Amino acid sequence: NAGVTQTPKFRILKIGQSMTLQCTQDMNHNYMYWYRQDPGMGLKLIYYSVGAGITDKGEVPNGYNVSRSTTEDFPLRLELAAPSQTSVYFCASTAYRSPEAFFGQGTRLTVV
């Protein structure tokens, strides 16, 4: 029972590079989310999706894009990486109308 799987676990990017953080869940959850966590801070919502083909911005969407072509997958795209995007990124999913979020193990991203 894998739950929520994120790849990669670690990545170093140079300023201006792009990358995609992968997230997949095997619990057939409708809702999926991307959060970022900066040192000493709580998690902030970047984007979320309530189902395949439907995405919406969270609190801190600038510099990111998402897509949701299937129920299982919710990739996060960083275009033109900036040092301010250095953070730990968590993908999460919830069942329909349940706030209990299941989190992936996180991706630690450093932009230099």
Partner 1 sequence: EDKVVQSPLSLVVHEGDTVTLNCSYEVTNFRSLLWYKQEKKAPTFLFMLTSSGIEKKSGRLSSILDKKELFSILNITATQTGDSAIYLCAVETGTASKLTFGTGTRLQVTL
Tokens matching residue 60: 């801190």
96 in helix, strand or coil? Answer: coil
Query: Mask 43-82, x = binds partner 1 (CB under 8 A)?
Result: xxx--x-x-----x-xx-----------------------
Q: Among positive and negative, which fits the CA dihedral 41, 42, 45, 46?
A: positive
User: Does the protein bind partner 1 through residue 14 (CB under 8 A)?
Assistant: no
Pick from 1, 42, 62, 112 the residue near partner 1 by CB under 8 A. 42
Pick from 31, 34, 74, 89 the residue near partner 1 by CB under 8 A. 31
> Tokens 């984007």 map to which residue?
47
DSSP 39: T
Compute the least distance from the CB of residue 14 to partner 1, in Å: 26
User: Does the protein bind partner 1 through residue 97 (CB under 8 A)?
Assistant: yes
Alpha carbon distances (Å) from 18 to 2, 7, 45, 48, 102: 27, 15, 20, 20, 27
User: Does the protein bind partner 1 through residue 89 (CB under 8 A)?
Assistant: no
User: Does the protein bind partner 1 through residue 87 (CB under 8 A)?
Assistant: no
